[in-house]
Structure 1
Amino acid sequence: MNFIPTKLSGCFILEPKVFNDSRGYFMESFNEQTFQNGTGQKVHFVQDNQSYSTKGVLRGLHYQCGEHAQAKLVRVLQGEVLDVAVDIRPESETYGQYVAEILSAENQKQMFVPRGFAHGFVVLSETATFFYKCDNFYNKESEGGFMYNDATLGIDWGLPQSELLISEKDMVLPTFEKAKKVW
């Protein structure tokens, strides 16, 4: 497994070693010891989530606050997405900055999104199955989020606005500046 640090401290792109042969392929998608050695972080995942979406569906930008904050290891099982992590740690040198990476079933890349980050993705293919491991359980009272198109962040989601499908819940999220603080 290759661990590639992003410009945001603690956030990594993971490239697994994929072994192809005439039957298909094999890869190790997660190994706790390898993960801890590669990221320098001790993370114990307790919940797996999966979603299926059609082209243009944008889910995000979401996070959990306080003791319910979550780190996530995300990947695409089928299709292709643009995955985005935003640093929302007030003390961080990269506060308010983001990284974006194309994750697909073809490239097998994963993104590790540590606690203190908002996360979202948009589906670029006709459909996509998105999988993520979380290190903390979901808590409705602790959820936070902000608008995907907040002007202060300037995220390029890779699709025209007219092609984006946003949930009613996400359409009424506050701006980045007015969002619930993570800590």
Structure 2
Amino acid sequence: MSVNCVNCIFVYAIPIRLANLKIPISVLVLIHNRNQEVLLLERADRPGFWQSVTGSLDEIDEPLEEAAIREVAEETGIDIQALPLGALQNLHHAVEYEIYPSWRYRYPPGVERNTEHWFALEVPPSAAIRVAPREHLQYVWLPYQEAAQKCFSHTNRDAILRFYDNLSALK
């Protein structure tokens, strides 16, 4: 079966959704504050692996922005609706990457690649963070350069650096 992603131009040839298997379309939300600090979360299933908020669509037709809002709430407890309008930005950038072989069991058979759509969310430096203990052990705020170095994922690192490079170019 092929499915057109309602959020982008990609067409996916994937089996009919099987219960509890992930859709190979995800969001990455770079949470930052005005002090140029980035929030990173340590994965519970891989201690020492630090990342931004990430997650797959729950349904193939779930809008990307809704997935970003849902994932931020689930992983950090932040209610985006309570933040100023425009706090969540769609960066209109997507990358495709190979799914780690050890994580492919989470996806339908034969799925080896994921498309990740990037978002940024500005929060106040005093924002209260509540990690989801099933997903993350702890969180840390780091200057963006340190955060980029600490990420285990090259796409997460690239999202941070690209975001701040674009901010610098606007000044």
Normalising by structure 2, report the TM-score.
0.27
The structure richer in strand per residue is: 1
Normalising by structure 1, report the TM-score.
0.26
The structure richer in helix per residue is: 2
